[in-house]
A and B are shown apart, each in its own frame.
Chain A
């Protein structure tokens, strides 16, 4: 096959470019949420399996290492949600100018961090009953 242009290449471009960083992080968090989907379905099937199955599953879900995963999922969810809304705004043809998208990139980072902290606080406040 003749050499053809490759899409989003991770190593040849400068990652400090705001567009590249926000875009690739959107993909990464998307993959993270796909794994979260596996966790969600596992949890749903555990409930469907009855009290004993759920108790066994929740012992696994309460492992200290899983807390790290939940934190990653919260970060992924918040970022992917906010960055996804930015994409939907772009789809209406708005905000595509360089200066605008630079501004919205920062907005995405700030809003998603605020959201992460808010969700994190809610989870922390309800700790003890979370699995």
Chain B
């Protein structure tokens, strides 16, 4: 006899109630990344030069600072979700899998924090 109710089976959410959570987050971030990455590519190509003054002035602009922060945050989250699935698919030893996933999660958190901090430092720093 199953203790699961028919409704729970239909909803398919499992015991952790997060059946489609990963899938949905991956979609949510990919939709956001379409305009964000295209904006980034176009802005980078439109920059007249890559010296400090130009880059700092660009990053001090409110819109570009905001979009850069979003790009870093959404990008790292999307990357974390994608890389996780690949590790789950190809790293089979339970111990190695857990260690790899943990390290990759920390690495993505570090990237997100460092990227946001860097943009904020330039945007709010008021001159070097």
Q: Which residues of A pack against B, CB within 8 Å?
A: 6-8, 27, 30-31, 33-34, 37-38, 40-41, 44-45, 47-48, 50-51, 54-55, 58, 77, 81, 84-85, 87-88, 91, 119, 122-123, 126, 129-131
Q: A7-B89, A50-B128, A119-B41 known; A41 and B122 CB under 8 Å?
A: no
- For chain A, what secondary structure do more than half of its interface residues adopt (helix, strand, loop), or is it mixed? helix
Q: A47-B118, A85-B34 known; A37 and B27 CB under 8 Å?
A: no
B115 close to A47 (CB less than 8 A): no
Chain B 46-67 near chain A by CB (<8 Å), digits 1 or 0: 0011111001100100000000
B75 close to A37 (CB less than 8 A): yes
Tell whether B13 is near chain A: CB-to-CB under 8 Å.
Answer: no
Q: What B residues does A55 contact at CB under 8 A?
A: 52
Q: Which residues of B pack against A, CB within 8 Å?
A: 27, 30-31, 33-34, 37-38, 41, 45, 48-52, 55-56, 59, 68, 71-72, 75-76, 79, 82-83, 86, 89, 92, 111, 114-115, 117-119, 121-122, 125, 128
Q: What B residues does A122 contact at CB under 8 A?
A: 45
What CA separation (Å) do A2 and B77 show in the bound complex? 33
What CA separation (Å) do A7 and B87 show in the bound complex? 11
B55 close to A47 (CB less than 8 A): yes
Q: Can you name the residue of chain B whose Cβ is closest to the Cβ of A91?
A: B27
B122 close to A47 (CB less than 8 A): yes
Q: A41-B111, A51-B128, A122-B45 known; A88 and B118 CB under 8 Å?
A: no
What CA separation (Å) do A13 and B92 show in the bound complex? 19
Q: Can you name the residue of chain A whose Cβ is closest to the Cβ of B115?
A: A41
Q: What B residues does A45 contact at CB under 8 A?
A: 114-115, 117-118
Q: A121 → chain B, closest Cβ, in Å?
A: 10
B72 close to A40 (CB less than 8 A): yes
The 9 lowest CB-CB distance pairs between A and B, nearest first, are A48-B118, A51-B52, A44-B118, A48-B121, A41-B115, A34-B79, A45-B118, A50-B128, A7-B89
Q: A43 → chain B, closest Cβ, in Å?
A: 9
Q: B4 → chain A, closest Cβ, in Å?
A: 22
What CA separation (Å) do A129 and B115 show in the bound complex? 24
Of A50, A119, A123, A129, the residue contacting B48 (CB under 8 A) is: A129
Q: What B residues does A27 contact at CB under 8 A?
A: 82, 86
